[in-house]
Structure 1
C-alpha cells in the first residue's frame, strides 16, 4: 500500500502561461497507474482543509484576505497566480492532502502528495507559486496532537529553491528542524535562515550533490532525533530545468530520493513526500523524475 493524495481540483482554470507547469498534476497519477506503481486503491482524494489547521501556521488576516479575494495586486503578483476561488480550493485541498498523508504515514511508514511542497508561503503572505505552506501545516498539526507522540519533526527540503517560508515560520520553533539544500543563486534572492542551509554553486553535478547529501543527512538524523520527516522532493534540480542552476541527471535525482527514503526506512521514521517544483521544457523530463520518486518509495516500502 502506497497512500497517494490527489484530487481533480488541481486541474483548475488558469491563464495559458500558467497551464504547462500544472499539467503534471493531471498526468502524474495516470502515469503511476499505467506503470503499475500504484493502484486505484492507493489514491485518496482529500477534502478542503479546516481553517483551524491552516491557522496554526498562517495569520488570520492573511487567511481571510486570501480566501475572500482581498489580496493586493502586489501580493497577487508575488504569488505568480491570478486569484480565483478555484485556485483557493486547490490550495486548501493540497494542504489537507499533506495532513491526511501524515496521518496515513503514521500507519504505513510513507505517504505521498501528488502536489504540495509549497515552501515559499510565509505565515502572512504567499510567494513563488505558493499560497499556503502545506508541510509547515503538517508539522504543526502533528505537534498539536499529543496522543500521536510526535515531539520533533525534520523537514528535508531538496527543491532547487530555498524553503524560505518554511524557515521563517519555524525560526522560533525548536521542535521543527528545517534543512534546505538548494542552489545558492536561485530564487529567492533574499534567503531566510533554516536550521541548516546548504547553498550549492551553479552547475553542481550528481557526484558532488550526492556526496554532500550522504555526508549530511545521516548525521542530521542522529543529531536531531526526529519522530517524523517531511520530504520536499522538487525535481527542479535537474540540469534541464529552466528555473534551476544545478546539473543533476534524472538518475542522480533518483539516487537522491533513494538516499533520503532509505534512511527514513532504516530509522523507522514515517515520512510524507511532496513533489515540489519542476520546470523542464519537456514535460516528459518532469514526469519521469517524479515517477522515479514514487517508484523508489514503492520499492523501499
Structure 2
C-alpha cells in the first residue's frame, strides 16, 4: 500500500514545548529517570532509554501527522494514542499525551481554530479529558466500554459508554451518530482520530466484541465522513493487546487499508 517516500520520520519533540502542556517537574523527573516508585507503577513501564526515545518521538510523530493532514487531507501515525497521560503523571502505559500535544501544536496555526479529538480506544481517554479542559478550542470525545479501565472516569466534552460485549452493529451505529453530532456541533478544522483496536473481540483487555471487519468498517466510516466534509484527519493507532503480534498487526492495519481505499 505504501512506498518508501510515503513514510516520514519525526524528530524528538521539543522539551520546552512538552513542558508547556505537561507539568515541568513531571517532564524533568521522567527525562532524568527520577520518578517515584509509585509513579512508575502507575505508568506501567520500567524506565529505560528505549522508553524515553520512543515517548519523545511518538509525541512528535502525532504533531507531524497533524501537519501532514493539513497539507494533504490525511496522515496516519504508526504510534500514538497515549490518552491516559495526565498533566502531572503518566498512567496506563502512556507517558505523554500526544493527542493533546498534536492539538495544541495545530492550534498555533492561523488556519485552525478548533480541533476534535475523536477517541475510539476501548478505554476512556481520561488524561485527554482532563487536559483538554484547559483548552476551550480542543473538543474531546471518547467512545469506550463502560466496564473497563480506568475505574474512575473523567469528563470529556462528549462521553459515549457502551456495555460490555457490544458488537459490530451497535458499535458502528453509535460511531456514525456520535461523529456526525460532534462535527455538526463544533465544526472542527482538524480531527485527531484515535483508532484503537482494543475493541476487538479477541483483545486481551477489551471487553467489546468487534470483529476485524467491524474495525475496518469503523475506520472507513470515520475517514469517509472526514473526507466528505473536507476536514483534515490525523490518525493514531491507539491501544491493542494480544500475545500474537501478527494478529494485532492485522487489526492495526485496518485503518491503513481504509485510508488506502479512500485516498
The structural deviation recorded for 1:84 is: 1.3
The structural deviation recorded for 1:52 is: 2.7
Q: Who is 1:127 aligned against?
A: 91
1:39 has 2:14 as partner: no
Q: Who is 1:176 aligned against?
A: 138
Q: 1:100 aligns with which of 64, 72, 87?
A: 64
1:72 has 2:33 as partner: no
The structural deviation recorded for 1:171 is: 1.6
Q: Who is 1:244 aligned against?
A: 206
1:86-118 per-residue CA deviation (whole Å, 9 max, x = no partner) reads: 211110001111111111111111111101000
Q: Is this contact kept in 2: 1:56–1:137, CA < 8 A?
A: no
Instruction: Give the Cα–Cα distance (whole angstroms) in 2 for the partners of residues 232 and 206 of structure 1.
Output: 18
Map 1:1-301 → 2, pairs under 5 A? 37-145=1-109, 147=110, 149-301=111-263
The structural deviation recorded for 1:231 is: 0.3
Q: Is this contact kept in 2: 1:67–1:85, CA < 8 A?
A: no
The structural deviation recorded for 1:44 is: 1.4
Instruction: Give the Cα–Cα distance (whole angstroms) in 1 for the partners of residues 181 and 24 of structure 2.
Output: 37
**Unaligned residue ranges in structure 1 (runs of 5+):** 1-36
Instruction: Give the Cα–Cα distance (whole angstroms) in 1 for the partners of residues 225 and 16 of structure 2.
Output: 33
1:179-213 per-residue CA deviation (whole Å, 9 max, x = no partner) reads: 00001011000111000001111100000001111
Instruction: Give the Cα–Cα distance (whole angstroms) in 1 for the partners of residues 62 and 16 of structure 2.
Output: 15
1:21-49 per-residue CA deviation (whole Å, 9 max, x = no partner) reads: xxxxxxxxxxxxxxxx1111111111101
Tell me how large the CA RMSD over aligned residues is: 1.0
Instruction: Give the Cα–Cα distance (whole angstroms) in 2 for the partners of residues 281 and 85 of structure 1.
Output: 24
The structural deviation recorded for 1:172 is: 3.5
- Structure 1 runs, 4 residues or longer, greater than 4 Å off: none
